[in-house]
Amino acid sequence: MKWTLGNEPGCRKFDVVSDAKDRNKFHLYELYEDEMPS
């Protein structure tokens, strides 16, 4: 299944960034329109 922003309600931005010092490490950044649910 291809992942898109439409698969995650409220998600406005999703980025995957590789670590400059360790090519086996990645950072995921997600921006939501609301705070995380409690």
Kindly report, residue by residue over 1-38, the tens digit of the pLDDT: 566 667 778 888 888 899 999 989 999 888 888 876 55
What CA–CA distance (Å, rounded) separates 25 from 38? 29
What pLDDT is stored for residue 1 in this prediction?
52
What pLDDT is stored for residue 8 in this prediction?
79
What CA–CA distance (Å, rounded) separates 28 from 13? 11
Q: How many domains does the chain have?
A: 1
What CA–CA distance (Å, rounded) separates 17 from 26? 6
Beta bridge partners, 35, equal: none
What pLDDT is stored for residue 34 in this prediction?
81
What pLDDT is stored for residue 36 in this prediction?
62
What pLDDT is stored for residue 10 in this prediction?
84
Structural domain harbouring 9: 1-38
- Nearest alpha carbon to residue 31 among 15, 12, 17, 16: 12
CA atoms within 13 A on the CB side of 12: 5
